[in-house]
A and B are shown apart, each in its own frame.
Chain A
Amino acid sequence: MELRPLNVSNTNDKYKTYELFIGPNHPGISGNFSYVLDMEGHKVANVTPDPGLLHRGFEKLMERRLWTQNLALIPRICVPEPDVNEVAYCMGVEHLAGIEIPKHAQYIRVIVLEMARIAAFLFSFAGLGGSTGLYTAPNWSIGDRDYILDLFEWLTGGRVYHIYQYPGGVKKDIPDGWLDKLLELLDYLESRLPEYDNLIFRNPILQKRTKGVGYLPAEKAIKNGITGPNLRASGIKWDIRKAQPYLVYDELNFDIPITGEGDAFARTLQRRLELEESIKILRQCANQIPDGPYKVKIPNPFQFRVPAGSYYSKVESSKGEFGYYIVSDGDVKPYRVYVRGPSYSVGLYYANEIMRGMRIEDVPVWIHTMDICPPDFDR
């Protein structure tokens, strides 16, 4: 067994620091992941991330499976928001194989993505509530998230893992009445938003707890490869949906809200504002969705050979840029798939820098507002 040397901080006095383990079995961490903190008093002196507890060897397993078999595997890479994996992977495969998918299917994909985004945002509110002790927030928001999961179940047959996307489109068409139900749900969610505002965003103590915590200036955010809402909360107007539009996002009318303070509160508020935009997008999709085929035919999976080449396909997920770097050598199986999770740089690298000098109270708040999702870097 390899003995790791103890990370004693710059004080070089073993009596002055002590070790505190945040995770894997700790209520303060999201998922099976661990930070080993060297503490000095109530403050963090040094951080050692310990990933790999969720390592499954996805990238290896995908090389062993057929192009379409992999669809069952990849949603499991990011559990709170599995659909981005499917869409990113399918987009990559379609690009390499030169398949153009019908508009109808593109709209369905946007609907699925945005619903997943709302679900993930609601989940992140729950995380903030749990880490600050506001347990009403998780109870409400996860309860509301479940309505979305119900709709997913109706649409795809699965609550969490949908395995609904397919190279060339989606697996089946939207059922009758589903869109009406979706609109109804959006109305409901919108009516719930003021309550969340009162509970979370206008809560003076929560503001006190989150304002100024984990301040992330814009240059540092760029330098450390931080993407998504966290980047926008630092004031950078960057959203792949706008800047490099995929699917039908260029046909939809929505804003990219920017909060810009760069602290934990801004990051949560950013998600709250984007949630509203997602509702807007979903309404438009439900109203504009054209009729047409939901997929194009692709060959028998055993014969489905993707031409040789490589492509990096990316999707704006609720946590940031989710990318698949797919390499094909013209076989029925991928030659190599690399998964770029948005939490990788935050959770494994930037944590080292930001957590030093942070109070122990702020550590879980920081983890949850950064929305660190361990499965996407453990893979």
Chain B
Amino acid sequence: MSEWKELADYFRGRSMWMLHYCTGCGAIELPPTMTSRWDMERFGVVPMATPRQADILLITGYLSIKSLKRVVYTYEQMSAPKWVLGFGSCTINGGIYWDSYSVIKRLDKYIPVDLYIAGCMPRPEAILDSFVKLRELIKKGEAKGYEKYVKNFEWYKANQDKVFRRTTPVLKKPEEVTKSA
């Protein structure tokens, strides 16, 4: 049985279908990665149209709250095994939008991220490198974000709900806030 798993993991690593969801400005580096200059199809990575078909969810940069809600929905529509690549520094700590009221700061509080690509924005080489790294992680059986999500679903859900389902204003007393700034 484990041989089967290994074999399956080998094939998964060689054929990673990516969901081309332009969540942020990093999406501008994806067309060069996909097309003739860098050609990620060499690695078996193909852009897919819908979450149903995809293995990788590439979060290409910052996520506004509105976007995050859709990303979480999309992520839950993908079927396991699935992986998330956090792309660019915005997914790590909010990047240049660290003080924005609209952009989330840490992606892995809301969905499990298997691999981060640092940089603003990462070059196509970095993206390709991340695919190779992810392949290795899959082969080693270390990229198990989707299992983590199932196991810690409540934690993730609580974090998500805190952002999505507010029923009271975040800043209760605007006067005080103004003074402290």
Question: Which A residues form the contact surface with B (CB < 8 A)?
Answer: 1, 24-27, 30-32, 52-57, 60-61, 64, 72-73, 76, 79-80, 123, 126, 138-140, 142-143, 145-146, 149, 159-161, 375, 378
Contact = CB atoms under 8 A, between A and B. Distances in A.
B155 to A, nearest CB: 22
A84 to B, nearest CB: 15
B74 A31 contact: no
A32 B96 contact: no
A57 B24 contact: no
B36 A53 contact: no
A120 to B, nearest CB: 11
B29 interface: yes
A85 B23 CA distance: 21
B25 A375 contact: yes
A142 B70 contact: no
Interface string B21-64: 11111011101100111000000000101110000000000101
Interface residues of B, number: 37
B66 A55 contact: yes
B19 interface: yes
Contacts of A56: 62, 64, 97, 100, 102-103
A60 B99 CA distance: 10
A55 B49 contact: no
B20 A27 contact: yes
Q: Give 6 closest A-B pairs by Cβ, nearest first.
A: A143-B36, A142-B35, A79-B25, A146-B37, A139-B35, A79-B28
A72 B96 contact: yes
B28 A160 contact: yes
Contacts of B20: 27
A34 to B, nearest CB: 8
Contact of A160 (B22, B36, B66, B121): B121
Contacts of B102: 55-57
B-side interface mostly: loop
B162 interface: no
Contacts, number: 93
A96 B105 CA distance: 35
A275 B19 CA distance: 32
Nearest to A374: B22
Contacts of B158: none
Given A27-B49, A32-B27, A146-B32, A54 B97 contact: no
B101 A57 contact: yes
Given A139-B36, A142-B37, A375-B25, A54 B67 contact: yes
A146 B36 CA distance: 10
Given A24-B22, A60-B101, 15 more contacts: A1-B164, A26-B49, A27-B49, A32-B21, A32-B67, A52-B64, A53-B70, A55-B66, A76-B96, A123-B31, A126-B31, A142-B37, A145-B32, A159-B29, A160-B29
B14 interface: no
B165 interface: yes
A159 B36 CA distance: 17
B123 interface: yes
